[in-house]
Structure 1
Amino acid sequence: MQELTTVETVHEEGSWLFTVRNQYGEQEEVILVPCDDATEQGSTSSRPAADDGVAAWINRCTHEAQRFDTGRGVPMRDGQLICPRHGSMFDACSGHCDNGDAAGTTLPSVDITVSADNTVYLTDDDTTFLHEGSSDGDDDGPDSTSHISL
């Protein structure tokens, strides 16, 4: 179990980016995002990626592997992550998309646990924490073709 950050930090900053090594030995970026559909404090969430006000997702859209967070935080509106390239919107708590080019898909989740003191821990057996921030230091934004303005 790896300590990551706090629920408060994720909610104040809007998201929190970190890098892991997956079960195949490859680096992956993971984002923590606020999830307002959380269960009561200290209880276990029924969603595999969400726990007590925070959800963890692989940092890429299911449509064209576009990164949500390019070093400036995850674009979000009304509890949804917005793909900065094509504008598909994913529910922050379930990861499901019901619109745009990614409609019908769900973001890959990463297991986390929130302690009684609101500390977020990485508890996914298929990943190893490497460091906070992006995997490559590339903070260039996407070439947007979206009709949605942020």
Structure 2
Amino acid sequence: MAAEPTLTTVDHVHEEGSFLFTVADDYGVTQEVILVPCEDGVEAWHNRCTHEDFKLDRGFGVIYREGEIVCAKHGSTFGTCSGFCDNGDAKDTTLPSVEVACEDGDVVLVDDGYTFLHEGAEDDDDGDDVPGSTSNVGF
């Protein structure tokens, strides 16, 4: 059995407020995941609002209001430790979770349904930092 991949440290998540990484399921479908601070360590949730599939971390960290994760599109808030939303358009839904564990200060992926791909968003690993163009203007 392969060792579980270390994602980051618990301290890093608590200091920065969140940590974004990408996984793939058994079918090769990629999914972004956010780690957020919780009283007993960290929790991991899919990086999308349950209402309209809007990213909770759009590349610059999770937005919080009164200790809850905020969807910037409609303002629904999710408990950091429960993933549950009790307001707004996503009311009565829960963010899908990804199983992680805290071991000696490190956060490791222990969810058998996912394979760690890389830190950051789904498209962060292409190495191409040059923006594409959709202009019809020729030079």
State the Cα RMSD in Å. 0.8
By how many angstroms is 1:25 displaced? 1.5
Matches within 5 A, 1:98-109: 98-109=86-97
More strand by share: 2
Per the normalisation by structure 1, the TM-score is 0.78
CA deviations 1:100-136 (Å, max 9, x no partner) are: 0000000000000101x21000000000000000002
1:133 counterpart (102, 120, 124): 120
* 2:73 paired with 1:85: yes
Q: CA deviation at 1:8?
A: 0.4
Cα deviation, residue 31, structure 1: 0.3
After TM superposition, the score normalised by the length of structure 2 is: 0.84
Quick one: which of 69, 73, 76 aligns to 2:61? 73
User: Which letter maps to 2:66?
Assistant: D
Runs of 4+ in 1 over 4 A off after TM superposition: none
Unaligned runs of 5+ in 1: 39-52, 138-150
- The one-letter code of the counterpart of 2:121 is S
How far is 1:78 from its partner? 2.2
Whole-angstrom CA distance in 2 between matches of 1:13 and 1:19: 18
Q: Which entry has the higher C-alpha Rg, 1 or 2?
A: 2
Deviations 1:16-60 (A, max 9, x none): 000000233111000000112x2xxxxxxxxxxxxxx20000000
| Unmatched tracts of structure 2, length 5 or more | 125-139
CA offset at residue 5 of structure 1?
0.4
CA deviation map 1:58-113 (0-9, x unaligned): 00000000000011000012221000100000000000000000000000000001
User: Match for 1:9: what amino acid?
Assistant: H
